[in-house]
Structure 1
Amino acid sequence: MEKTTMNQLAVIGNIETARMLSADLKNLILYGVIPLMCLIFVVVVGFKTRAAGPTILSVILAAMVWWGAANMDLLSDKTGEDVTQYDNGVRPADTGQAP
């Protein structure tokens, strides 16, 4: 009986360790890799085009990607609300579209 309890504690410890590692990996990707990739994207576009327009657009697009990644919880909640609303057959205010 005691061996089973020790195994259960070991499994629980491993699960907690994996949970903490996944949280650290998420933070590394969110605050390290994504901003670095956005910066590389802007620099590459700037050097390849040597024009202000595409470079400014790349900055805007990179900011949108970074914002979307940082606010994934907000976006998933909004998407969930939209899906729930659609599943219940309730449409938003009159959009002028046929049902």
Structure 2
Amino acid sequence: MQETVIVAAGWIQTVTGLGNDIKALIFNVLIPVLCGGFVFLVGVKTKAPGPTIMAVIFSAIVWGGAANMDALKNKTTEDITQYDGGGQQITGTGDQ
């Protein structure tokens, strides 16, 4: 009698957990630190308020986009569904 043992099941769960932890680390720590470093570097190198303010705005856009990834994903899915005709009837009954 032969038994089937899935050896990779524990590894798959471990790697999935690691992937989720790394993803959380990137979105919650790495992106904000990089945005702050970018603003600091631009401010130190240029010593001018204009480029530094633009760096702050750009960093805010990047950080906000990364923080709202779920909302952006849902919006993209809605747009694709609407484009494919899944949302509303695009043509009226008399227009066909």
What residue identity is the alignment partner of 2:40?
V
Aligned residues: 88
Unmatched 5+ stretches in structure 1: 93-99
The answer to whether the aligner puts 1:74 opposite 2:71 as a matched pair is yes
Unmatched 5+ stretches in structure 2: 91-96
Between Structure 1 and Structure 2, the one with more helix by share is 1
Query: Residues 9-55 of structure 1, C-alpha deviation per residue, up to 9 Å, x if partnerless?
Result: x3221111111000011011111211111011101111122111221
- RMSD after superposition: 2.0
- Runs of 4+ with >3 A deviation: 89-92
Q: TM-score, normalised by structure 1?
A: 0.78
Query: Identity percentage over the alignment?
Result: 51
Query: Residues 56-84 of structure 1, C-alpha deviation per residue, up to 9 Å, x if partnerless?
Result: 12112101101111111110110110111
The answer to whether the aligner puts 1:11 opposite 2:8 as a matched pair is yes
Distance 2:89 2:55 in 1: 35
